[in-house]
Amino acid sequence: MYELMNEVISTLFQVGFMVLVPFLFFLFRKDKSTGFLQYVGLYKPQGKTLGLVLLATVLTLFLGVGLALMNDDFKAIFFSPYSISGKLRAMGPSWVTFIAIVLAAGLRTSFAEELFFRGFIAKRLINLTGFAVGNFLQAIIFGLLHLYLMWLLVNTEILLLALVFVLSTTIGWILGYIKEKKGNGSIIPGWVAHGLGNFVTYFTIAFVL
């Protein structure tokens, strides 16, 4: 139960930070015609997004479970007590761990990242530079963040770290494309894809591997 409370606190802190930054920009924006939920894309999507959502989910799974199975260095990352998946694994199989996985996958990582990267950063960059450049830039930023986090936790071959960057960037681009071109600006399809991929990854590492 102590570990679950830590996960709740960590989730609240991360989501709170990822919401606070866009909200501060929202308060001082020039265009006052939209509300905050519209500003970050938190509304019901329109259009067909299922195929791309499944593709993004599969790529997210490969970035997690696939790399853990493919390389011992990456497996060590996902088992590390400093990583989210490692902390969940250390809790052991239980209903408490399951709830912690739902919180971590559904809110702490997927919701927070989709709201910040796709709902806030991508939208601002696309407004400034157009879709092609803006979506590419936000995907690069997303990829660099995941590369940096991996680099902090593992000493491995440069080609494998490059693979992490390419996969993360590709996922970020697809999620941005879904939001802007298929979901009518909504982050919800990307949140679903990101959350499903992370949930299966965390569940597999905590209960299966």
The residue with tokens 């894809």 is 193
Q: Which of 29, 48, 49 is nearest to 39 (CA)?
A: 29
Query: Is residue 12 situated within a structural domain?
Result: no
Query: Is residue 55 situated within a structural domain?
Result: yes
Indicate left, alpha or beta for 44 from its phi (over 0: left) and psi (-120 to 50: alpha).
beta
Query: Is residue 103 situated within a structural domain?
Result: yes
pTM, two decimal places: 0.91
Q: Based on the structure, what is the number of domains in the chain?
A: 1
Query: Is residue 16 situated within a structural domain?
Result: no
Query: Is residue 77 situated within a structural domain?
Result: yes
Query: Is residue 20 situated within a structural domain?
Result: no
Range of the domain at 91: 49-207
Query: Is residue 21 situated within a structural domain?
Result: no
List the chain pLDDT tens, one digit each, 209 residues.
777 888 899 999 999 999 999 999 999 988 878 899 999 999 999 888 888 899 999 989 888 888 888 878 788 888 888 888 888 998 888 899 999 999 999 999 999 999 999 999 999 999 999 999 999 999 999 999 999 888 877 766 787 788 889 999 999 999 999 999 999 999 999 999 999 999 999 999 888 87
Query: Is residue 110 situated within a structural domain?
Result: yes
